[in-house]
Amino acid sequence: MKYLITIVGPTAIGKTSLSIAIANYFKCEIISCDSRQFFKEMTIGTAVPNVTELAAAKHHFIQNKSIFENYTVGDFEKEAIAKLAELFIKNDVAILVGGSGLYVDAVLKGFDEFPEIDPEVRAEINSKYEKLGIGFLQQQLEFLDPNYYQSLKANNPQTLQNPQRMMRFVEVCVGSGKPYSSFLNQKHNSRDFTAILIGLEAERTIIYERINQRVDTMMSQGLLQEANKVYPNKDLNALQTVGYRELFSYFENEISLEFAIQEIKKNTRRFSKRQLTWFKRNQDTKWFDYNEPIEDIISFIKLKK
């Protein structure tokens, strides 16, 4: 039997240190499942494990791509499953760790398959978005897939403000002639491993304090300079993320640096709430306090094996 120990939880909760401790105990390797740590141009703002942490256990999918590459969750699923097959040849245990819920689900359950979309359809939708804005995409999705639109509005409203995601929804509707939602949850992949899900949590005030401290640390480590270096490419999808967007607004003289830092903290706190909401949906996850002794967590894993 092969086991994938999956460690999830909100940002800044301590997933990296726990994953390294467990990897050392089971003498196994780690697959990172953080959708922004893939990119080699983004180090400080994505809290990539430091040199000491990377040396403490073998990591995969850390800064292995460029922001200029088009890398999707579907691409990650294929590559991660292939890497796991390779790792399981020499060890019965591997670790998956990260805060990107969609990417975690892709590895554990598989990713929905969608039809190929004519590039001309994509180009036309993109052109209309550039002229008419996000409102055009929202109206189109509400018309073409009203049930999915209402579901997003009620449960995931921030997605309705994400141009990349919205263009994808609309292009699938237009290009296939079917609602986007009709392609969801149709694929049931079998996996050659058993997942053991571990969640780390803490009181909200503690999470928020840890986030604030992390942002201050990032700024002292040079996040401002890192953001300035990638600023010329600010429209790339990989850079549409907390910690960079706010500093881009500062570079454009829209807000002060002090306000930008406060916005990074606020938006990261909001992101952490969304992470917890996503991960709490899975009833199979065993939740531990972030201060739980590592020995107790390892004992739980050994009982599940």
C-alpha count within 13 angstroms, C-beta hemisphere, residue 158: 8
Does the annotation flag 11 for ligand binding? yes
- Cα torsion through 104, 108, 113, 118, rounded to 10: 30
- Residue 16 annotated as binding site: yes
Can you give the length of the chain in residues? 305
14 is in an annotated binding site: yes
**Residue 10 among known ligand-binding residues:** yes
Which residues lie closer than 8 Å to 278 by C-beta, 6 or more apart?
101
- Give, as one character, the DSSP assignment of residue 34: -
- Reading the block at residue 166, the tokens are 């919205």
Cα 89 to Cα 273: distance, rounded to the nearest angstrom: 37
CA angle at residue 109 from 108 to 115, to 5 degrees?
Answer: 130
Candidates 15, 175, 27, 179; CA nearest to 98 is 15
227 known ligand binder: no
What's the chain's Rg over C-alpha atoms? 20
Is 285 marked as binding a ligand? no
Q: Which residues are annotated as a binding site?
A: 9-16
Q: Which residues are annotated as a binding site for ATP?
A: 9-16
Q: Which residues are annotated as a binding site for substrate?
A: 11-16
